Amino acid sequence: MMRAVRRDKDKALVARGLALALAGLAVLSGIGAVGTPAARAAEPVKERQVVYGITPWTGKEYGGTFAPKMVDTLFLSAGDRHILDVLETDVYYWPITQEFMADWMGYRKEIPGKLEVRQDGRVVATLAKQPYTFVYPEGYFGGQVQLATGEEAKKAFAGYQKAIDDYYKAADEYRKAEEAWRAEMSRILDQVQKTGKPADPAKLPKAPEAPQPPKLLVMQPSEGYVIDLPAGRYELRVLDDKGQEVAGTRKRLEVFAARRSGVGYQIIPESKWTVPVEAGDPTQALYVSTEATFYLKAFDAREFNRYAYSRMTELSKPLAGSGQQSAWQWVLGEERQGVKLEVLQDGRVVQTVEPKPYYVQQSPGYALGYKIVDFDPSKPEFEGRQPSFVAYKVHLKLEPGAHFALRLVDKDGRPLPGSGREVRAVRADPLWPLYAWPALPLVAGLGIATWRRRLKPRQILEG
């Protein structure tokens, strides 16, 4: 498959290489440096084109890019549901960000028809446009997104609208109930002031509770081609209602598979919580010096070819993925839920950790600093606040040379494949052995040379 990617890339490489060479020369000769932003940001030349709108599943979210006329190959990951759409719009090149842009607001015309997917000359799928929408169960910033298609999309949106309507109704009722409660409380207060007798607390009306707005967010459904294919090379084209190919819709499609998959971690060191470290590769280990406290978040992780992945997510950028055909990258996807973290020492479980919410408290005053504390919504200091993050807290007291391991287990206690990581405490003191050992080959060499010298005269005498 990658050979196919390379073959395709080689053709584009020459053209891109020339473009890059010119760009490089321009930069080197100072042309790029002297151009003022105002001059660079002049009205671009637009060209009306048939383009593929692409909403790829990046592993974590649905992205957005498009394939202008000059891009002849689309890239999508295997085994994931992606959205394609074919439209006519005005395209221009934006040199500041080095990408093609589409003026969707200025002109946008849907190209009707069916999307035909061919492989080796055979039709493998003919797709009709269908409604789709994105569902965010925890809200837009909640970190989760689901794709709903067909009737499910319509139902999801209807459900969301109902939830919003119900909330507004509840909010309206709350407002009325609160008004009534305030009026009643005013009346009681007036009575207390008139009579001088305190009111019986048991007889005081209970304040109404404000309804919570729904966390759920569902986008207005759109129409597009939902595509999910196994790895391979395909050809795409749109057929009109007469079965004729629509001009400008023929493209190649590379569907690439992950090389490896497993569990990736985002590691938040207690001392640098704003700079989390990602560990996707299961062959990587965590190296610590002495006592270590860190927080882990676990995700699905897949390893993709860097070129193919960049082309999938940023196809409108000609430079995306350039020179990265031989590189691989781990992509952290959705967060793992309902699992526990085990800490092992010498193969024995010494700690089992559940994920918990934590809050980062800034130090008061002018001094910089913070501390990470357990988030407890029942405490008054956390009222109206949200946790900074939810993670597994690991605290290890390590002797130099100590060797621990981490792994995730499901609710039945079964370890999750690819979730194991070593934790090693390094020994950095004293360092003299590291300088002494390299001398050993030299000592051996001198020994052999001396032995050889002693041997020679004896051999001569014997001879």
Q: Which residues in this chain contact other proteins in the complex, by CB under 8 A?
A: 6, 13, 16-17, 20-21, 23-24, 26-28, 32, 98, 259-260, 267, 269, 271-272, 277-279, 281, 283-289, 292, 294, 306, 310, 319-320, 322-327, 400-403, 422, 424-428, 431, 433-435, 437-442, 444-446, 448-449, 452
Residue number, 241 or 399, with CB nearest to other proteins: 399
Cβ closest to other proteins, residue 99 vs residue 228: 99
Minimum CB distance to other proteins, residue 129 (Å): 33
Q: Is the Cβ of residue 155 or residue 395 nearer to other proteins in the bound state?
A: 395
The residue count of the chain comes to 463
Q: Nearest Cα to 163, choosing from 216, 114, 208?
A: 216
Alpha-carbon span 382 to 43, nearest angstrom: 51
Residue 149 or 325: the one with the smaller Cβ distance to other proteins is 325
Can you read off the two tokens belonging to residue 313? 């997510």
Q: How far is the CB of 458 from other proteins (least distance, A)?
A: 15
Q: CB of 375: closest distance to other proteins in angstroms?
A: 22
CA dist 437 and 211 (Å) reads 71
Count of CB atoms situated within 10 Å of the CB of 226: 20
Alpha carbon 259 to its chain centroid, in Å, reads 18
**Quick one: CA dihedral 85, 114, 2, 13, positive or negative?**
negative
Task: Return the number of the residue (237 or 407) whose C-beta is nearest other proteins.
Answer: 407
* Phi–psi pair at 252, nearest 5 degrees: -95, 155
Type of residue numbered 52: Y
Question: Shortest approach of other proteins to residue 60 CB, angstroms?
Answer: 17
Short-list 290, 289, 269, CA closest to 279: 269
Nearer to other proteins, 91 or 288 (CB): 288
CB of 75 to other proteins, least distance (A): 16
Rounded to the nearest whole angstrom, what is the least distance from the CB of residue 47 to other proteins in the complex? 23
Q: Tell me the closest approach of the beta carbon of residue 19 to other proteins, in angstroms.
A: 9
Residue 168's region, left for phi above 0, alpha for psi from -120 to 50, else beta, is alpha
**Cβ closer to other proteins: 96 or 105?**
96
Quick one: how far is CA 463 from the chain centroid? 78
**Torsion 266-270-272-273 (CA) sign:** positive
The residue among 139 and 400 lying less far from other proteins, judged by its C-beta, is: 400
Residue 59: closest CA among 240, 319, 261? 261
What is the DSSP code string of 21-73?
HHHHHHHHTTHHHHS-HHHHTSPPPPEEEEEEEEE-B-SSSB--EEE-TT--E
Nearer to other proteins, 19 or 204 (CB): 19
Instruction: Give CA–CA dist 334/264, Å, rounded.
Output: 10
**Burial zone of 32 (CB within 10 Å; 0-12 exposed, 13-18 middle, 19+ buried):** middle
Minimum gap (Å) between residue 199 Cβ and other proteins:
59
Check if the beta carbon of residue 355 is closer than 8 Å to that of residue 393: no
Smallest distance from the beta carbon of 14 to other proteins, in angstroms? 10
Q: How far is the CB of 428 from other proteins (least distance, A)?
A: 4
> Measured from the CB atom, is 221 or 418 closer to other proteins?
418
